Amino acid sequence: MSAILEVEDLRVDLAVRSGNRTVVDGLSLSVARSEIFGLVGESGCGKSVTAQTLTRLLPNARIVRGAIRIEGVDVAKASEAAMEKLRGGTVGHVFQEPGSALTPWMPVGRQIREVLDLHRPVDDPEGEVVRLLEQVGVRDPALRAHDYPHQLSGGMQQRVLIAMAVAARPGLLVADEPTTALDVTLQAQVLELFRRLRDRTGTAVLLISHNLAVVARHADRIGVMYSGELVETGPAQAVLSDPRHPYTRGLVAAIPTLPPSSRPLPTIPGQVASIDPEAPGCRFAPRCPIVVPACHAGHPAMSGKDSLRQVRCPRVPLD
């Protein structure tokens, strides 16, 4: 399968008031065409910075090392004109908080039409807007196209954003916590929608969330991110049912069960530490239940480099 997105040994630093802050370091992943890849990890591990760096959306971010390639475009080196084509054209973004991502004073149909005019001019834009709204499950799309964002529910606003993100028929949809603002029923509907869109149009999806259970149910493969790098990757169901890395094990153990267990839910002690790229050792070692002195010495590499299943922990080699 050829990849639409390839990230190779990426390091991203952010310019902050106190100087420079490394938030992604050593991240490698690839997303194949038509694949739904789930990127999961605790708050602050660098998921959103990664998502936004893919199309250079963060003004204070700098790609210090490594590469991002999208449809053959080398993102670190591409011209601003090439990036403009990529954003909203080859790559569609769906972010959290649909309310703030829509323009409040413009009917939603016109907002979708602007994307079409810019990235995929068609003969009948009005009709195409209605078709796009229909495709994302909006009922009475011809009427709803005239609504302003505030007239729509949160779930409907998120559908409009998805319609905008797919209007240009992107090869890759980057969805960063697309369902956090929605209730559980709507969450499931929106995630189901990504699957249907993928099946119908072949759009690959990078689905980002801190909720491993949600992502594992809707993705083909997942990557577990910790402190700016992947610590485990593999087919979604395999990772969920047989997690190997102690961090992934902690995340899986923390998934609430139904009916609720009488035991308190286990949590992973400590929190994500800031990254020191020069520091030796495993970044998870200070929180790891199976840590040994050697873990503080060398930075562990991913095992199973060419296999579907990879783990960054020499204590749990893959068989």
Ligand X SMILES: Nc1ncnc2c1ncn2[C@@H]1O[C@H](COP(=O)(O)OP(=O)(O)OP(=O)(O)O)[C@@H](O)[C@H]1O
Q: 13 vs 171, which CB is nearer to ligand X?
A: 13
Residue 28, φ and ψ in degrees, nearest 5? -130, 130
Strand partners, 73: 70
SS3 at position 153 = coil
User: At closest approach, how far in Å is the CB of 56 from ligand X?
Assistant: 13
Kindly state whether residue 288 participates in binding ligand X, applying the rule CB under 6 A: no
Among 2, 18, 43, 262, binds ligand X (CB under 6 A): 43
Among 22, 28, 30, 48, binds ligand X (CB under 6 A): 48
User: At closest approach, how far in Å is the CB of 299 from ligand X?
Assistant: 19
| Separation of alpha carbons 286 and 283, rounded Å | 7
User: At closest approach, how far in Å is the CB of 225 from Mg ion?
Assistant: 11
Sole window of 44-52, 87-95, 199-207, 280-288 interacting with ligand X (rule: CB under 6 A): 44-52
Q: 22 vs 135, which CB is nearer to ligand X?
A: 22
Among ligand X, Mg ion, none, what does residue 45 contact (CB within 5–8 Å per kind)?
ligand X
Kindly state whether residue 244 participates in binding ligand X, applying the rule CB under 6 A: no
For Mg ion, the binding residues in 45-64 under the rule CB under 5 A are 47-48
User: At closest approach, how far in Å is the CB of 44 from Mg ion?
Assistant: 8
Kindly state whether residue 45 participates in binding ligand X, applying the rule CB under 6 A: yes
User: At closest approach, how far in Å is the CB of 227 from ligand X?
Assistant: 10
User: At closest approach, how far in Å is the CB of 281 from ligand X?
Assistant: 20
Question: Which among 90, 83, 64, 65 is positioned nearest to 4, based on CA atoms?
Answer: 90
Q: 48 vs 179, which CB is nearer to ligand X?
A: 48
Among 7, 10, 14, 181, binds ligand X (CB under 6 A): 14
Q: 16 vs 143, which CB is nearer to ligand X?
A: 16
Angle between helices 184-201 and 154-166 (to 10 degrees): 20
Kindly state whether residue 23 participates in binding ligand X, applying the rule CB under 6 A: yes
Q: 48 vs 203, which CB is nearer to ligand X?
A: 48
Quick check: 133 and 112 in contact, CB under 8 A?
Answer: yes
Q: 46 vs 125, which CB is nearer to ligand X?
A: 46
Helices assigned H by DSSP within 61-173: 80-86, 98-101, 108-119, 125-135, 141-144, 154-166
Kindly state whether residue 179 participates in binding Mg ion, applying the rule CB under 5 A: no
Among 8, 9, 16, 279, binds ligand X (CB under 6 A): 16
Sign of the Cα torsion 192, 187, 166, 122 reads positive
| Separation of alpha carbons 83 and 72, rounded Å | 12
Among 8, 9, 60, 277, binds ligand X (CB under 6 A): 60
Quick check: 247 and 224 in contact, CB under 8 A?
Answer: yes
For ligand X, the binding residues in 79-98 under the rule CB under 6 A are none
| Separation of alpha carbons 216 and 187, rounded Å | 14
Q: Give Cβ neighbours of residue 153 (< 8 Å, ≥ 6 apart).
A: none
Size of the site for ligand X (CB under 6 A): 14
Q: DSSP readout, 217-264?
A: HH-SEEEEEETTEEEEEEEHHHHHHS--SHHHHHHHHTS--SSPPSSP
Kindly state whether residue 198 participates in binding ligand X, applying the rule CB under 6 A: no
| Separation of alpha carbons 155 and 12, rounded Å | 33
